[in-house]
């Protein structure tokens, strides 16, 4: 319900529209993804679990898929944050990827904790992720090769399944949407937001900041390079001709937000999206 109220964070149940999305999700999958042996991954938060409860597939809960921790700002609206923490609000607008909430996380932190999830995704077949907006942004950016400074501004629609099929040099993308009204919590990139191109523009490199960041985004300790956010596997895995890997290259990843449940990836409607998205706005916040 937080999305509907314009609040961030929380562990609320789905909104009525999110519940309706969860009810229609099995039919959407049956219509477009019939015959695929899916495994459903959710976070440990109630709205993603609730979004997937009608799905008759094996399910796995990942703590690493929990939404970005907004710390002391949990449960607040952006207007309340701007009023109570004006300096933090400005710092986040200046560099949203590296900004860390007081007592919480940054997008950079989330990318780090998603590393084992992404590595496992590379090894699995036909995964449906029911996730949160920030999480789905990170996963989507990995497979679609977004730069780190653009990652926090990716639009992850609610009530939508985003189907990604890896190919030798990128991903095919297909979106499946349920016609349910959804809130839009997307905040566009401010004109003065930081823009620090990585050395290799073909990858999202998460090693451009030289230290650990404090509560307001300041560098407080040296930091080693992080996982490159890039959909490219090592040469021995993805540089081969597609005919040599018919099984792996035909696998699909679906994302949806929690009700916000919409990401395959699916987003949620607090209601989410899956890569598929929903009211909790994946996912593919």
Name the 3-class secondary structure at 260. strand
Residue at token pair 């939404």:
67
pTM of this prediction? 0.73
Burial of 197 (0-12, 13-18, 19+ CB in 10 A): exposed
Query: Two tokens at 57?
Result: 């597939």
State residue 265's pLDDT score.
63
- 254 touches 265 (CB < 8 A): yes
State residue 193's pLDDT score.
65
Alpha carbon distance 43, 63 (integer Å): 6
Query: Two tokens at 36?
Result: 């695929």
Closest CA to 178 of 285, 20, 4: 20
Q: Which residues, at least 6 apart from 98, have a Cβ–Cβ distance to it below 8 Å?
A: 106, 107, 108, 194, 209, 213, 217
Q: Which residues, at least 6 apart from 154, have a Cβ–Cβ distance to it below 8 Å?
A: 137, 140, 141, 146, 284
Query: Would you kindly state where each structural domain of the chain is located, as residue ranges?
Result: 16-274
Beta-sheet pairing, 170-177 with 160-167: antiparallel
State residue 133's pLDDT score.
94
pLDDT profile of the chain (285 residues), mean per 10: 71 93 96 89 97 96 97 95 96 96 97 97 94 97 94 94 90 93 78 52 37 42 38 37 36 61 46 36 32
For 16-274, CATH number?
A: 3.40.50.1240
State residue 194's pLDDT score.
56
Alpha carbon distance 45, 39 (integer Å): 18
Closest CA to 183 of 89, 268, 96, 249: 268
Alpha carbon distance 17, 207 (integer Å): 39
Buried (b) or exposed (e) across 153-187, using 16+ Cβ within 10 A? bbebbbbbbbbbbbeeeebeeeebbbebebbebee
- 284 touches 255 (CB < 8 A): yes
């Amino acid at each position: 319900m937080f999305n509907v109220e314009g609040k961030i964070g929380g562990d609320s149940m789905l909104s009525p529209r999110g519940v309706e999305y969860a009810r229609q999700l099995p039919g959407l999958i049956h219509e477009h993804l019939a015959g695929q042996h899916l495994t459903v991954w959710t976070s440990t938060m109630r709205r993603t679990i609730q979004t997937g409860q009608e799905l008759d597939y094996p399910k796995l809960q990942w703590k690493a898929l929990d939404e970005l921790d907004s710390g002391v700002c949990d449960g607040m609206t952006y207007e309340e944050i701007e009023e109570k923490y004006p300096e933090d609000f400005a710092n986040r607008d200046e560099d949203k990827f590296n900004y860390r909430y007081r007592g919480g996380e940054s997008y950079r932190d989330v990318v780090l904790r998603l590393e084992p999830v992404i590595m496992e995704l590379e090894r699995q077949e036909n995964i449906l992720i029911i996730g949160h907006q920030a999480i789905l942004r990170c996963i989507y950016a990995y497979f679609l090769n977004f730069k780190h400074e653009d990652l926090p501004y990716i639009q992850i629609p609610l009530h939508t399944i985003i189907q990604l099929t890896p190919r030798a040099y990128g991903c095919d993308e297909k979106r499946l949407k349920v016609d349910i009204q959804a809130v839009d919590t997307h905040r566009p990139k401010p004109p003065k937001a930081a823009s620090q191109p990585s050395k290799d523009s073909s990858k999202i490199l998460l090693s451009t900041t030289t230290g650990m960041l404090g509560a307001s985004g300041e560098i407080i300790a040296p930091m080693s390079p992080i996982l490159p956010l890039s959909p490219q596997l090592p040469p021995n895995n993805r540089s081969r001709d597609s005919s040599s890997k018919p099984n792996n290259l035909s696998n699909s990843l679906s994302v949806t937000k929690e009700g916000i449940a919409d990401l395959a990836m699916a987003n949620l409607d607090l209601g989410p999206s899956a890569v598929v998205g929903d009211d909790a706005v994946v996912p593919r916040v």
